Every structure is written in C-alpha cells, then in structure tokens.
Structure 1
C-alpha cells in the first residue's frame, strides 16, 4: 500500500476523538493557508508561516499535506467547490429567478465574509494558472457545461432571454468577486472603514436586480 493509502486507512480506523482532532487540525491548516496565500501569494508563502498561524508545528502541517503545492492544490479545490455548490445543475426544477438570485447572493456573501478565497484564485490566474490548468479547469469546464444546459432549457422555455450562458456566468463572477478583489477601492470610494450588513443587503439587491433584468428574468418575491 502506498504511503498516502496507509494514511487514509489509519484515518478511517482512528478512534472518534482522534478522528475529530485530525479534522480540526486539517481545518486549522487550511484556514491558516487561506490567509497566508491571500496575503503573500504562492511563492511568498511558506509552510512554516502557515504552521505558525495555525498554532501547529511545521511537521504537523506536512503530516496532513506533504508539500506546499499539495496544500495549495487542496485550497484551490475547496475554493471552487465553495463557489460552485450554490448553482444547481440541469436537474433542478426551481425557477430561474430563485436560482440566479440565490447563486448571486451566495457568491457575494463569500466575497464579503471570505475575501481571501477570491484573492487566492485571482492570484493563481494572474500567474498563468499553472495548477488550475493541470487539473481544475477540466472540472470547471464540466461544471460550466452542465449549467449551460440548465440555462439553455430556460431559454427554450421562454423563461430567460436568449443569451450566451457562459458570458452570463462570467458577468456574475465579475460582479460578485469585485467586492473581494477590489475591497480597498470599494471602501475608499464609499468613504468607509468597513462594509456593514446593511451595505451587503443594499448591494446584493441591486446586483441581483441588475443581472436578472439583463437576463429577462423576474426577481423572486421577497420573503
């Protein structure tokens, strides 16, 4: 059995308390890596810095992630999973307004509460996306193809204006991630130290209304 397989088998056979500790340490490492990679980028981040932020020894970080690149890859996967899970596939029976509003709000919320995710992803793309190209872009293309089927079905049913689904998703990404990637500019232009929950509600309502009108989709009724 390979070393990775042995670790996985040991994790499955670990007592409940030990399993909980493993999950907590792994989560702490990923949370620390999220901050370090967002601040310093891939090249400027060390596993020693991640360990210090997580309150662990460097050896403990390497026990869960054999290299900085392996940890970075796992973080990129978790970012895409966090973004993608809020937009259902072609099997959904929900209406376009409900689906799109929910996705836009969820993406804005992630930008609001975890801006580091978008900064890491943008940094990877700006350096040529070497790791994304190797593995994750294939997954993202498959995800995009499935959502294109959903949007195309709505267009054929007359529930959405004829448009290019891919460009629509690009516009949603741009509008929502703006509040993470350009947070300093947003705060400066709004002359605020931080954005409040009231700001979030106002901005999310405007972004949802703007994008849905462009799609010819009625916004969902407010609860």
Structure 2
C-alpha cells in the first residue's frame, strides 16, 4: 500500500478529529488587525512553520515515531508528556488533545495497529495530536519523511481554510499562500527528521498571545 494513501485519509478534513473547529489563534489575530491579506497570512503561517508551533509538533512527531519503532515505552511517555507541557494556553491544549484523542479512537476503529492498542501502556493520559498520528504512522510502517511533510501540509491547509472562512482572504489567495509555504514545509520536515527533543523551542510570541487572547474573545466562530 502506498504510504500516501493512509496519510491522505488520516489528515484529510473528512477524518473525524474536528480540525475544522480550530483556528490556532488566527481568529483573534484577524480581529486585532494582524491578519488582513495574503501577505500577512503567509508571514504568520511561515513563522509557525519555521520557529513556532508546527516546528515543535514536527519534532515531537519524529521523536514519538522513533520511540514506537524502537519499542521504547519510556521514550514515548516522555514525548507524550512533553507535548502536553508545550501547549502553552488552555485552548492550545484543548486543540491538540481533542484532536489527538479523537484520532486515536478513529484509528482504533478503522485502521487498527498494535502500537495504537499498546499506547495506554506507555502513556495513559490525553494524547497530543502529533503524538497520536506518529504512533499510528509508525504502527503502519509508513516512511517518516512523508509523514512529516504530510502532517505539516495538513496543518497549514487547515489554517488557510480557517482564514478563508474568517474572510481574511479568498479561496484563490488561500491556494497561493499554501503553495508558497511548501518549500518551507519541505525544509521543516527535513530538519525535524533528524532532530531531538533538545531542538524544541520557538519564538512565535504573537501567535502565543493570540491563543491566550482568543480564550476571552467575545464573539468567535472557532474553539481556538
């Protein structure tokens, strides 16, 4: 089976994780005036790819993937715990664990594999989304580079879709923004493949502030 087929299914909008409900703070950034056109959206998402939340998620993904392949339950537990600790707001935690838990449940029902079944033995808490997808990907013997690139593209595509629904840009500009971010996604995935937990870190501070401010935003469409 081609590696891309399960990845395309798992990370498509039709897979029941509820990704459409989250804007990752974009909704507050739009209301605050930070996002107002294709260029500002491109810059915002590009920062997440290179030194923000996606940068960390890809490293966590790779570490969880390697832990499963090595049958190292202690390492997987460390990654799963750290992934939750790095969710630096209530909504960021809600976003990652709601999708992660839903992903685990959906994969158990439709794409079963032993690492998903054995996950509670290593980590019996809530599961961050990149960790959940990584465990399933390793369990189905998918290649890590393709997994990282597809996960990153799905992250960007979901936020571009949120921006379109908010009215920041139209659909054509949304596709242009996504296409322009592809080279950065290739580089981020390649970097994460050989990274360790020591490489975690970020400086997309405005995005973090947006997530915190969204928690008290009066009128909103999204859960984050």
TM over 0.5: no
> Whose radius of gyration is greater, 1 or 2?
1
The structure with higher relative contact order (CA 8 Å, sep 6+) is 2
TM-score with structure 2 setting the length: 0.29
